[in-house]
């Protein structure tokens, strides 16, 4: 088909889509992803599309699910009037940092006529397969700007992490080379330092998101994703399922190094009455009490159903986890958003109120997003200093 016919199909695939709907990308952009995969000669599961309305959205949109992270080609859907130089710069930085292949697809509305076309394609330098995908799309959809980014970690050797991944598929000797690099003190230190730097950058972004007015629980849950390391060194990952008992689904079920389970319940950061003034003392507000009560019910249900659940998980799913006396954390609120009638409590006063409340709890700990992320940052600073030493 001609370029004009393919662009018409592209517009048709997006016609009538409610871009503001909260449904997942497969439902909203399924037709678009299937069409782009066909034009690019890729499996349908290798393309992921999501709307990008501002520069800060990129990392959230393309890191919020396993499908997004595993995609060979990511499509940023940008509505009329939302494309800007800052969006293009953010896309370049995202592609550079994560070695991702990205196409920016922009809507234009002229009267009652709607059209869509790609304006920018990004691939890591040295990743010939991804570059070929972009060039193939260009032949199908018309000319657009294609840029090769230089992934930060491997810029000195001239190829990207994504390119390494492609090379590993065809060269059996590369794993040996990479293993040899990490066996040297300097090579291991460089790899560890790169991981720590990236994690510190992610913590800083989360801190900014948590302190931003209007941020919701859903926003933070997507941004945190499977970053289990935020909660400390005793955790080794996130459980492969979020639903264990009959009625409950958990935000983040963490797997502990001893084989036990730790449930994290996330609430919104923008809670003005996180603490309240009561008889010249600060106490936690009703939102904290309700969140803790919700978590108490989770733990009670797990205690009641433990024997049957462990048998089912082990025999049916081959998943071993110790559900005896599960513990939990409630992450709620941020000091930046707390306000009461008689003034603004200090961070110290908020911490003291929550610490007093925690001292009377069993198996549950309440902490703010500031507590969680400050702790994660301190740990990473220590790891960076240790690596440098």
| Sheet strands (E) in 39-175 | 47-51, 73-78, 102-110, 113-124, 145-149
Q: Do 309 and 253 meet the contact criterion of CB atoms below 8 Å apart? A: no
Segments in the chain below pLDDT 50: 152-160, 167, 170
Of 113, 105, 117, 106, the residue nearest 141 (C-alpha): 117
pLDDT at 47: 92
Q: Could you tell me which residues come within 8 angstroms of residue 315 by beta carbon, excluding any fewer than 6 positions away?
A: none
Q: How far apart are the first and last CA of the chain?
A: 60
- For 60, 230, 383, the CA distances from 223, given in Å and listed in that order, are 6, 12, 23
pLDDT at 1: 78
> Kind and range of the H or E element at 137?
helix 128-141
Residue with tokens 């200093």: 385
Alpha carbons 269 and 210: distance in angstroms, whole number: 6
pLDDT at 190: 67
Per residue in 124-149, pLDDT tens?
Answer: 877 788 889 999 999 999 999 999 88
Radius of gyration of the chain, Cα coordinates, nearest whole angstrom: 24
Q: Do 295 and 265 meet the contact criterion of CB atoms below 8 Å apart? A: yes
pLDDT at 65: 72
pLDDT at 152: 44
pLDDT at 60: 78
pLDDT at 336: 92
Q: Do 300 and 328 meet the contact criterion of CB atoms below 8 Å apart? A: no
> Kind and range of the H or E element at 11?
helix 3-14
173's tokens: 């000797």
Per residue in 27-79, pLDDT tens?
Answer: 788 899 999 999 998 988 889 998 888 888 787 788 767 778 788 899 999 99
């Amino acid at each position: 088909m001609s370029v004009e016919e393919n662009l018409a199909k592209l517009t048709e695939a997006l016609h009538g889509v409610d871009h503001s709907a909260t449904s997942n990308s497969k439902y909203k952009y399924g037709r678009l992803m299937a069409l782009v995969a066909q034009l690019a000669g890729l499996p349908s599961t290798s393309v992921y599309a999501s709307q990008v309305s501002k520069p800060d959205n990129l990392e959230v949109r393309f890191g919020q699910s396993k499908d997004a992270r595993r995609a060979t080609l990511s499509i940023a859907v940008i509505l009329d009037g939302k494309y800007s130089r800052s969006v293009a710069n953010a896309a370049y930085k995202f592609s550079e940092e994560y070695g991702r292949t990205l196409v920016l697809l922009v809507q234009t509305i002229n009267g009652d006529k709607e059209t869509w076309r790609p304006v920018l394609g990004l691939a890591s330098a040295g990743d010939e397969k991804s570059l070929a995908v972009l060039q193939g799309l260009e032949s199908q959809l018309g000319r657009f700007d294609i840029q090769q980014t230089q992934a930060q970690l491997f810029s000195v050797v001239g190829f990207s992490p994504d390119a390494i991944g492609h090379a590993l598929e065809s060269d059996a000797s590369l794993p040996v080379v990479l293993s040899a690099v990490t066996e040297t003190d300097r090579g291991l230190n460089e790899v560890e330092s790169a991981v720590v730097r990236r994690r510190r950058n992610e913590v800083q972004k989360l801190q900014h998101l948590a302190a931003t007015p209007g941020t919701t629980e859903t926003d933070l849950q997507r941004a945190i994703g499977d970053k289990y390391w935020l909660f400390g060194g005793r955790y080794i990952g996130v459980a492969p399922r979020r639903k264990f008992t009959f009625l409950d689904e958990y935000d983040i079920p963490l797997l502990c190094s001893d084989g036990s389970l730790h449930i994290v319940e996330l609430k919104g950061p923008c809670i003005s009455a996180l603490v309240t003034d009561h008889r010249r003392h600060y106490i936690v507000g009703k939102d904290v009490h309700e969140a803790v009560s919700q978590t108490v019910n989770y733990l009670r249900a797990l205690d009641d159903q433990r024997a049957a659940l462990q048998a089912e998980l082990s025999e049916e799913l081959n998943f071993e986890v110790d559900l005896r006396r599960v513990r939990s954390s409630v992450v709620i609120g941020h000091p930046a958003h707390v306000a009461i009638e008689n003034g603004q409590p200090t961070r110290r006063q908020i911490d003291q109120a929550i610490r007093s409340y925690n001292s009377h709890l069993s198996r549950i700990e309440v902490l703010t997003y500031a507590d969680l992320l400050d702790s994660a940052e301190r740990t990473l600073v220590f790891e960076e200093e240790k690596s440098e030493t």
